[in-house]
Structure 1
Amino acid sequence: MSRPRRVAAATAALVAAGLLAGAAAPPAAAGWPGPRDVHPSLRENLVAYYDFDHPVPGDPALERDQGRSGTEIELVNGGAQMRVRDRAYAGSGRALETRQVEPTVAGNDDWKAGTWSASGVRTLRPFNAVAGTTVMGWFKVGMTGPRPNSTTANPDDLFNAIGLAGVLTGDSDGHGVRALLELIDVNGELRLVALGRRLDGGNSQTYAANEDWRRLLPVGEWVHLAATFDFATGAMALYRNGRPLAGFYTRTDDPWLVGGPGPHVTTATDPRGIKIGGSYPQDSREQNPCDCRMDSLMFLDRVVSARDVEKQYRHMTARGR
């Protein structure tokens, strides 16, 4: 099925389900057990969750959401081939593979995943006027630095970042984010960061890990990462394998404008989507590709505590022992 037909079919299904009627995504049903790989303390706030073991029946290029929102994502350009047999932890099944396909051509063939809508993705409404967000998951990089910039004629030009996973803003062109895990150039050095933006059209803040990213994400090794974004206070945090990472803010002013009277929440707009393994999930441009594998990507509508991040990591790694 072509992209327009696939998107149209997915939209029709959402309309039929009443999810595009203007209502917020429904809360988790009472007694809903949630995905078995998600710790019980996180299930209530699990807006979207992708384990890449649940293709949409009849269209394996779409992945079903195991969270409460039902937000399907597309495996862009690679389709079903992007699901690979590679276990991030003992209880997992398949993983997602993303990668740059042709670094010398300004095309739109990179493997990435996500969803995008110019009018906002209404199933992602829990991130509309939200006070906190968490992005977490398993990542295995297969690269030692950013890939060649396929949008310029200079063969020596490189992208300045490696995209992991994030939630877009309500006015995003497919690149701008509300909450993102990525690797990006900070003062001339690539670093693992949490990058967030409270207000559509406003300034972003970045919290960068102190430690060398190559030690945090060794090539070929599965690592569990988490980033939290407290839009009420301006605080951010990074975690690796359940433990907090020391870091620093790249701005010392008040980019989120939380210094005045609150409450402080994100702009009251539905995010335009989710991006995974690079920007522009609508496949209109190539940007910051990731030659990576990913698994069990989680997007939550609250700031997860350090204790709960550790619980989630231990919950996953304890399976199969």
Structure 2
Amino acid sequence: MSRSRRAVAATAGLLAAVLVSSVAVPPAQAGGKKPRDVHPSLRHHLVAFYDFDHPVRGEPGREADQGRSGTTIDLVNGGAAMRVPDHAYPGSGRALQTRQLSPTEAGNDDWKAGIYSATGVPSLRAFNAVEGITVMGWVKMTGENPKPNSNTANPDDRFNAIGLAGVLTGDSDGHGVRALLELIDVNGELRLVALGRRLDGGNSQTYAASEDWRTLLPVGEWVFLAATFDFTDGTLALYRNGKPIDGFYTRTDDPWLVAGPGEHRTTATDPRGIKIGGSFPQDTREQNPCDCRMDSLMFLDRVVTARQVEKQYRHVTGRR
């Protein structure tokens, strides 16, 4: 073959290789993981997912995210000991144990989990200027709640809330939230609630369950909870074991300022983190600890439908 023909052949081969690499190989995609315990209809919007079966290699006190964001969280104060052999549903592995350790001391030793950054957590950007959020997962009460208030000298004083799981606002001190599942005092009575805030520094809205929280979350029983936050129209919802929970709004005005025209989203800031089992994941203060276990916590950047909540529940329990 002549030199000119060899050059043409080499050029053609190189061009073919470029075309193959740019066309035949699909581009890398965020969120390539497909957790088997998440219903397929939810995976695309699964920002963060923690099943507490995936310690970070070499750092057992941290938990790897199985969602698309890759947001690693800390198991605060208890580290690897917070992973316990308990099963929320058939096939699940370990669960997360959270608890209060020193009820009479204003210290920082409560077992809780999460992540915090005063400048925002970039991997949670899906919750920046978002139209809706869903928080869901399995919860089992393992002791007496609410816990004694370790921040006061009165031994009879108790915290007015029990923290479950939520996404912080973009200006949070570790307590303020954009979307939260918790139990909190509503008009003198503790209730299971979905509590959300659309605007940083703005007012919150709360949707509270009508039924007694001790019936909804009996000690020693795994329960699947979900809360949705629609920031476009100011609506919230609660679910238990795949079914909607009857409830009421604690405010009848427009705390999220969605009555006016235009597009309504959350403030365009990255959340400062996630909190699980209590507030202040940066471990600067004790607030609203939960004596409970949690499993398969999911944080999604959309309002899932009632049908999808039911599908997720049936997906892992095998119920038809």
Q: Would you say same fold, with TM above 0.5? A: yes
Distance in 1 between residues matched to 2:156 and 2:272, nearest whole Å:
33
Q: Which amino acid aligns with 2:267?
A: T
Q: Which amino acid aligns with 1:227?
A: A
Tell me which residue corresponds to 2:119: 119
Tell me which residue corresponds to 1:288: 288
TM-superposition CA deviations, 1:188-228 (whole Å, max 9, x none)? 10000000000000000000000000010000000000000
Superposed displacement of residue 97, structure 1? 0.2
Q: Which amino acid aligns with 1:219?
A: V
Q: Which amino acid aligns with 1:190?
A: L
Tell me which residue corresponds to 1:84: 84
Q: Which amino acid aligns with 1:50?
A: Y
- CA 289–317 in structure 1, closer or farther in 2 if over 3 Å, else same: same
Q: Secondary structure at the match of 1:183?
A: strand
Which runs of structure 2 are paired with 1:151-230 in the superposition (5 Å)? 151-230=151-230
Superposed displacement of residue 29, structure 1? 2.6
Which runs of structure 2 are paired with 1:122-141 in the superposition (5 Å)? 122-141=122-141
Tell me which residue corresponds to 1:46: 46
Distance in 2 between residues matched to 1:268 and 1:296, nearest whole Å:
28
TM-superposition CA deviations, 1:66-96 (whole Å, max 9, x none)? 0000000000000000000000000100000
Distance in 2 between residues matched to 1:30 and 1:79, nearest whole Å:
28
TM-superposition CA deviations, 1:36-73 (whole Å, max 9, x none)? 00000000000000000000000000000000000000
Q: Secondary structure at the match of 2:40?
A: coil
Tell me which residue corresponds to 1:243: 243
Tell me which residue corresponds to 1:60: 60
Tell me which residue corresponds to 1:264: 264
Q: Secondary structure at the match of 2:140?
A: strand
Distance in 2 between residues matched to 1:162 and 1:145, nearest whole Å:
7
Q: Secondary structure at the match of 1:124?
A: helix
Q: Which amino acid aligns with 1:241?
A: N
Q: Which amino acid aligns with 2:29?
A: A
Q: Secondary structure at the match of 1:42?
A: helix
When Rg is computed on C-alpha atoms for both structures, the one with the higher figure is 2
Q: Are the equivalent residues in 1 in contact too, given 2:164–2:277 (CA < 8 A)?
A: yes
Distance in 1 between residues matched to 2:267 and 2:108, nearest whole Å:
30
Q: Which amino acid aligns with 2:90?
A: A
Superposed displacement of residue 32, structure 1? 3.5
- CA 31–197 in structure 1, closer or farther in 2 if over 3 Å, else same: closer
Q: Tell me the C-alpha RMSD between the 2 structures.
A: 1.5
Tell me which residue corresponds to 2:18: none
Distance in 2 between residues matched to 1:252 and 1:84, nearest whole Å:
42
Superposed displacement of residue 318, structure 1? 1.1
Tell me which residue corresponds to 1:110: 110
Q: Which amino acid aligns with 2:239?
A: Y
- CA 28–285 in structure 1, closer or farther in 2 if over 3 Å, else same: farther
- CA 31–154 in structure 1, closer or farther in 2 if over 3 Å, else same: closer
Question: Which consecutive aligned stretches of 4+ in structure 1 deviate over 6 angstroms post-superposition?
Answer: none
Q: Are the equivalent residues in 2 in contact too, given 1:232–1:262 (CA < 8 A)?
A: no
Q: Are the equivalent residues in 2 in contact too, given 1:28–1:44 (CA < 8 A)?
A: no
Tell me which residue corresponds to 1:18: none
Q: Which amino acid aligns with 1:149?
A: N
TM-superposition CA deviations, 1:90-111 (whole Å, max 9, x none)? 0100000000000000000000
Q: Which amino acid aligns with 1:53?
A: D
Distance in 2 between residues matched to 1:28 and 1:219, nearest whole Å:
45
Superposed displacement of residue 34, structure 1? 1.0
- Say whether 1:318 aligns with 2:318: yes
- CA 199–28 in structure 1, closer or farther in 2 if over 3 Å, else same: farther
Scaled by the length of structure 2, the TM-score of the pair is 0.90
Q: Are the equivalent residues in 1 in contact too, given 2:138–2:223 (CA < 8 A)?
A: yes
The total of aligned residue pairs comes to 294
Superposed displacement of residue 31, structure 1? 9.4
